[in-house]
Structure 1
């Protein structure tokens, strides 16, 4: 079972569905499509779309269409594939995307704080341990940071180069 989580808690009525050959969005749902399908639809002037960015995709291809994208889902197919961190960071810092970025795939509890720092704000979580800890409000923290990211920390002293002895 997959649940959508944001920093405010679990979302009950999320309308987004990742479309596949077997799964299509219903009348009360919104479709998330792959990059190529998205670019085809965007060329017709469609707006309010969701796009799925796979690890090998070039996220900069979205640049001319960012004002028409309601949600970008970045895929984490395995816990050791971190290219979606770079996709989220590029969307926020270089491309200036202000819409929702969602982590989908192998979303683990230990990676969520890092995903938040990269600008990801919602998470499709299916990992049982992650679901349990999120339900308990037990999100791990990061005490020191080595670089700034899309979402700055509230504590300026947590950056390793700014620490005061």
Structure 2
């Protein structure tokens, strides 16, 4: 079972469907297309589409079509594949994408705070522990940060390398 979560909580009526050879978006659903299919349809003038970025995809290929994208889904096929973090950061900081970025695949509870800092705004969660902890409002926190990211820290003094009053924070 997949549940969509964002910082406001679980989403009950998400219309997005990742299309594949076996799955096609229905009447009241919106397609999330693989990069090649998205580029083909975007160049034909379609807009309001979702695009699925695989770890090896070149996210910069989206740059001329950012105004046609309603959602970017970043694939995390395994918990130890961090290329989606880089894709999210590039989309937010260098390409200026301000729409929804969703993590799909192997999304674990411990990674969600880091994903939020990189600019990911929603999560397709299948892990039962993650679903339970998110439902309980038990999102792990990060007290100290080593570097700034696409999303500003709530407490700018939380960067461990910044000096505060002559001492290390």
TM-score band by shorter chain is over 0.9
Match of 2:23 in 1: 23
TM-score normalised over the length of structure 2: 0.96
- Are 1:100 and 2:100 counterparts? yes
Where do 5+ consecutive residues of structure 2 fail to align?
none
- The structural deviation recorded for 1:161 is 1.5
- 1:23-49 Cα shifts (integer Å, max 9, x gaps): 110000000000000000011100000
Residue in 1 that maps onto 2:40: 40
Aligned residues: 165
Distance 1:100 1:136 in 2: 24
- Distance in 2 separating the partners of 1:108 and 1:154: 22
1:156–1:162: 8 Å Cα contact kept in structure 2?
Answer: no
| Aligned position for 1:130 | 130
Q: How does 1:40-59 map to 2 (within 5 A)?
A: 40-59=40-59
Q: For structure 1, which runs of at least 5 residues remain unmatched after alignment?
A: none
Provide runs of 4+ in structure 1 moved above 4 Å: none
Measured against aligned partners, the alpha-carbon deviations of 1:35-72 in whole angstroms (never above 9, x if no partner) come to 00000001110000000000000000000000110000
Equivalent in the alignment of 1:144: 144
Cα deviations by residue, 1:118-165 (Å, 9 ceiling, x for unpaired): 000000000000000000000000011011001011101100122534
Root mean square deviation of aligned Cα: 0.7
